[in-house]
Chain A
Amino acid sequence: MCGLCGAFGGSDHWTAGTGAETAGATPTAERRARAATANEVLAFYGLSLGEWAGRFTLRSRTGRMAVVEHFGAIWPEAERLAGQPCDPLDEALITRLEAT
């Protein structure tokens, strides 16, 4: 369950959107695409996200791992695995994203 929003499963969490944004993609392909998007940011913290059986797995470079039920639940786990805050207002992160 998501500590942030309390959602069970991913289908009705707000991060799933309205469904219209991903029309045409299979659920697995859609989750893989989302994981690839998240990895652009998670790489900054030495983490990577993968699609796994309708969920996501979050891994650190040292092999620590967490299962994430839905896209909105990534960040509490990412902070735990990275051992640091994941702040989208961090100037260093923003500068790196602007450069890519």
Chain B
Amino acid sequence: MNGGDKLSVHVLTGFLGAGKTSLLRRLLALPALGDTAVVINEFGEVGLDHLLLEAVDEDIVLLKSGCVCCTVRGDLKNALVTLMERRRSGEIPAFARIVVETTGIADPAPIVATLTADPMLRHHFRVGNIVTVVDVPNGLSNIDAYPESLRQVAAADRLVVSKADLADTEEIAALEAGLRAVNPTATLVALDEHAVPDPERLLADLHDETARPAEVARWLDAVASTRWRFHAHGTHDVNAHRDIRAFVLRNAQPLAWPRFALWLSMLLNRHGAAILRLKGLLALEGVEGPVVIQGVQHIVHAPLHLKAWPRGVPLTEIVVIARGLDPTLVQRSFEAFNRLRPAGDAAA
């Protein structure tokens, strides 16, 4: 299930004033993204005049870089269907990926749900990266004050730190520590206002087989640090932010897929709203290599294969970012449903 010729849809999000429109404006000018269709809320917000090549209609314009830029007049589904129809009829150039910019207070999960669940969209598109822009001056306070901001950070595959030039190094370090606590698996990308943003770093996703091993290796690096960063009871836990906590489910015994699917579907049915992000590698009975699984809230993407174990040893490791769930209880449930010896016993 590698998606065949489906197009990746990346989600660009970030709280009000974080700087995502500024990042988008810079990305749109890059020839490297000339084979991209961008879905935005309003042309006026981005200020496309100097980039404009041609207006196809009132909702779609072509940019000098080759980008197709489209506004969401109705809902996202209509915008995506219109893009695909225009592409098929040759009215707009073929594009290789789509970037959807959300409004500042949007939770990215419903966008992911639309792409995953809609019977028409799911056959044309797959979810790419969730790129969340967080600004240094206001990022931490937004995460604390606004659940939408927290969900944007927790769901992210890339966390872009913006406006670092308006803050001192201590503020930047505090924000980065806060982001790591909420979402240790996302790649932090510092946005240099004076350098060209690297589109490959932002948009290379799991569906690109050449990028997949490195992407998964980054998750596992986060997992490795998570193992050692839990602090003793009563002290500060750097893997927690208020009631949000990142933890790892781990077991060396191979899983039977039906048992795992039964357990995860049951967990997400009852606790999907509390599970902000889930990413991991599975060792499965009857499958030679690792299987990649990931989800946002109650939505799980189709599993993908990886050719080899990143560390050479089969091991199930699933990073969970959840609100208010007891990691010990989740691990115990995971082992009981999957008939696993407790990981502690296996290590002993």
Contact = CB atoms under 8 A, between A and B. Distances in A.
Nearest to B288: A20
Contacts of B287: 18, 20-21
A53 interface: no
Contact of A15 (B117, B265, B271, B291): B265
Interface residues of B, number: 44
Interface string B110-147: 00010011110010000000000000000000000000
B23 interface: no
B299 interface: yes
B189 to A, nearest CB: 28
Q: Is the interface of A mostly helix, strand, loop or mixed?
A: helix
A74 B269 CA distance: 9
Contacts, number: 113
A19 B1 contact: yes
**Residues of A in contact with B, size category:** 35 or more
Contact of A23 (B119, B256, B272, B286): B286
Contacts of A38: 258, 262
Given A6-B116, A21-B284, A71 B270 contact: no
B303 A41 contact: no
Given A6-B117, A71-B258, A94-B336, A86 B269 contact: yes
A37 B256 contact: yes
Identify which of B267, B304, B325 gathers the most chain A CB atoms within 10 Å of its CB: B267
Nearest to A74: B265
Identify which of B261, B299, B337 gathers the most chain A CB atoms within 10 Å of its CB: B261
A8 B337 CA distance: 26
Interface stretch (B41-49, B193-201, B327-335): B327-335
A33 B113 CA distance: 29
Given A5-B299, A6-B118, 6 more contacts: A4-B272, A17-B261, A18-B305, A21-B256, A37-B262, A91-B329
29 contacts: A4-B268, A4-B298, A5-B117, A5-B298, A5-B300, A6-B118, A6-B119, A7-B117, A8-B119, A14-B303, A17-B284, A18-B291, A20-B284, A20-B286, A20-B287, A21-B287, A34-B262, A37-B258, A41-B337, A71-B261, A71-B265, A74-B266, A76-B269, A86-B266, A86-B269, A88-B337, A89-B270, A94-B336, A97-B337
